[in-house]
């Protein structure tokens, strides 16, 4: 279905839910601010491109500074736009037009928004509290209620994420081709990804992670080198794309070459892919996401033994924190108008899962990533060496894998009543 067909239900549902939230928290109106231009540097006149307040993007894909959405009981939402008469700059028009007709649109001049915004008991939600119009700014309890509305996605949001996934997959395909051809730098691959997914660097949902070889052991590696690498090496690309403000988040790992070490790493990528798919198969409504994360450590322990990396029981590898030294991040997180979407971590994870961003019970309508990994991270291996836990590992194999850095396989998953929909595999196979 098109965005024009799915958006009316999205916005109508948000209106109903927000009216309930306003009544519960006793506000007469909610003002969602897109945000003010952010100066790059007070000695210059350049601003960063706007990344709107996420609660604004939840309603409206417009990316325009100093816009305000006003939501009140029983009234159509109003969209207040600030029209700037400027021959230096302009903002790009939205890529889709489906949302306009759902708002009463009012225009105002810079500095005059308060003239048209409501008075009374108003809650104002903004990324820029310093530039907020009158109202109670970012009240915590109200924000928690709004965050809860982002945990289950509407058909419109799922289709936006599906399109964001298809765009990202075009970028991933192109980087895979360029990498296989050899003699290519991280910067070349980053730029190839942007071109194929038709995005400016600043428009991506998060900065592309493009890591050749040992760099893949840095989980958020964005220091694109210009050195062109030929010969046996690996590539980890963790990159997404946006559609209507919604962002995908996808990782693939590749290896090139025929040396025994490259072949071993290639076999490990295949094992990790199988493990990732097994985790996806285990997703069940009613299960806690943290249990899925714990399960991924047990599956990883089995895989490490089968691959000749570890020699110990599953219990020992998991309970002594050995799998966590090799896979230190969380299994995944909710996706939406922010890459790590809100509302899914109402309770803290257990201490050994401290980087896990999703501790919710799995329900239909959630969209989250499944992204197990395996990395050779010196600082974490040093902790295993310090107390002898490294004896459970074959350090020769670890040495052989070190130049390849690590592996992550990350898909975007929709939980449906009858099972899961894997947006990423769907796009790769489509
Ligand atoms: N790309 C960041 C993440 O996977 O969470
Ligand atoms: Mn992710
Ligand atoms: Mn990612």
Cβ of 249 closer than 6 Å to ligand 1, yes or no, is yes
Ligand 1 atom closest to Cα of residue 408: 4
Phi-psi region of 332 (alpha: psi -120 to 50; beta: other; left: phi over 0): left
pLDDT above 90: residue 134 = no
Ligand 1 atom closest to Cα of residue 240: 1
Mean pLDDT for the chain overall: 97
Question: What global pTM score does this model have?
Answer: 0.97
pLDDT-derived band at 121, boundaries 50, 70, 90: very high
Task: Using the mean position of ligand 3's atoms as its centre, give its distance from the Cα of residue 97 in Å.
Answer: 29
Q: What angle do CA 403, 404, 410 make, to 5 degrees?
A: 155
- How would you list the strands of the sheet with 78-82, edge to edge? 104-108, 78-82, 68-72, 29-33, 122-125, 136-137
The residues, ordered by sequence, that sit 6+ positions from 101 with a Cβ below 8 Å of its Cβ are none
| Closest ligand relative to 335 C-alpha | 2
Q: What is the pLDDT of residue 100?
A: 98
With a pLDDT cut of 90, the percent of the chain lying above it is: 95
pLDDT-derived band at 1, boundaries 50, 70, 90: confident
pLDDT-derived band at 328, boundaries 50, 70, 90: very high
Task: Using the mean position of ligand 1's atoms as its centre, give its distance from the Cα of residue 126 in Å.
Answer: 24
Ligand 1 atom closest to Cα of residue 251: 4
Cβ of 238 closer than 6 Å to ligand 1, yes or no, is yes
Least confident of 3-12, 42-51, 350-359, 410-419: 42-51
Pocket test for ligand 1, best of 190, 193, 238 (most atoms within 8 A of CB): 238
3-state secondary structure 307-363: CCCECCCHHHHHHCCHHHHHCCCCCCCECCCCCCCCCCCCCCCCHHHCCCCCCCECC
pLDDT above 90: residue 79 = yes
pLDDT above 90: residue 374 = yes
pLDDT above 90: residue 167 = yes
- Tell me the mean pLDDT in the region 332-346: 98
Task: Using the mean position of ligand 2's atoms as its centre, give its distance from the Cα of residue 414 in Å.
Answer: 14
Going from the C-alpha of 382 to that of each of 106, 257, 297, 377, the distances in angstroms are 60, 29, 20, 9
Q: What is the pLDDT of residue 238?
A: 99
Q: What is the pLDDT of residue 416?
A: 98
pLDDT above 90: residue 227 = yes
> Pairing between strand 122-125 and 29-33?
parallel
Pocket test for ligand 1, best of 206, 247, 375 (most atoms within 8 A of CB): 206
pLDDT-derived band at 255, boundaries 50, 70, 90: very high
Q: Which protein residue has the closest C-alpha to ligand 1 atom 3?
A: 249
Task: Using the mean position of ligand 3's atoms as its centre, give its distance from the Cα of residue 238 in Å.
Answer: 5
Pocket test for ligand 1, best of 205, 249, 367, 406 (most atoms within 8 A of CB): 249
| Closest ligand relative to 251 C-alpha | 3
- Tell me the mean pLDDT in the region 225-250: 98
Cα separation, 283 vs 276, in Å, equals 11
> Do the beta carbons of residue 108 and residue 81 sit within 8 Å?
yes
Cβ of 371 closer than 6 Å to ligand 1, yes or no, is yes
Domains of the chain: 3-148 (3.40.350.10), 155-429 (3.90.230.10)
Cα separation, 398 vs 371, in Å, equals 21
């Amino acid at each position: 279905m098109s965005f024009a067909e799915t958006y009316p239900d999205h916005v109508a549902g948000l209106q109903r839910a927000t009216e309930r939230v306003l009544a519960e928290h006793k506000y007469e109106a909610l003002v969602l601010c897109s945000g003010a231009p952010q100066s790059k540097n007070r000695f210059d006149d350049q601003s960063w491109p706007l990344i709107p307040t996420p609660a604004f993007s939840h309603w409206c894909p417009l990316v325009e500074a100093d816009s305000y959405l006003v939501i009140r009981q029983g009234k159509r939402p109003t969209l207040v736009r600030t029209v700037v008469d400027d021959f230096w700059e302009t903002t790009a028009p939205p890529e889709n037009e489906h949302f306009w007709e759902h708002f009463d649109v009012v225009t105002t001049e810079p500095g005059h928004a308060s003239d048209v915004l409501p008075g009374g008991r108003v809650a104002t939600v903004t990324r820029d509290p310093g530039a907020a119009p009158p109202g109670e700014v970012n009240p915590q309890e109200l924000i928690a209620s709004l965050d809860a509305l982002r945990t289950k996605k509407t058909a419109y949001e799922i289709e936006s994420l599906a399109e964001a996934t298809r765009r990202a997959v075009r970028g991933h395909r192109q980087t895979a081709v360029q990498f296989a051809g050899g003699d290519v730098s991280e910067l070349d691959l980053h730029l190839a990804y942007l071109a194929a997914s038709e995005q400016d660097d600043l428009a991506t949902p998060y900065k592309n992670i493009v890591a050749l070889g040992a760099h893949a052991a840095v989980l958020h590696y964005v220091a694109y080198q210009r050195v062109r690498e030929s010969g046996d090496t690996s590539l980890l690309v963790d990159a997404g794309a946006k559609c209507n403000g919604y962002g995908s988040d996808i990782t693939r790992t590749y290896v090139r070459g025929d040396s025994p070490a490259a072949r071993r790493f290639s076999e490990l990528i295949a094992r990790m892919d199988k493990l990732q798919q097994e985790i996806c198969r285990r997703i069940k409504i009613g299960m806690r996401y943290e249990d899925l994360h714990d399960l991924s450590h047990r599956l990883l322990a089995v895989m490490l033994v089968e691959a000749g990396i570890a020699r110990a029981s599953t219990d020992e590898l998991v309970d002594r924190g050995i799998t966590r030294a090799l896979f230190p991040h969380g299994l995944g997180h909710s996706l939406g108008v922010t890459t790590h979407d809100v509302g899914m971590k109402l309770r803290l994870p257990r201490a050994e899962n401290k980087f896990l961003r999703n501790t919710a019970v799995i329900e239909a309508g959630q969209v989250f990533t499944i992204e197990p990994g395996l990395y050779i991270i010196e600082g974490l291996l040093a902790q295993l060496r310090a107390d002898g836990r490294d004896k459970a590992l074959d350090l020769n194999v670890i040495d052989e894998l070190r130049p390849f850095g690590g592996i992550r396989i990350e898909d975007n998953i929709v939980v449906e009543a009858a099972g899961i929909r894997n947006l990423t595999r769907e796009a790769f196979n489509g």
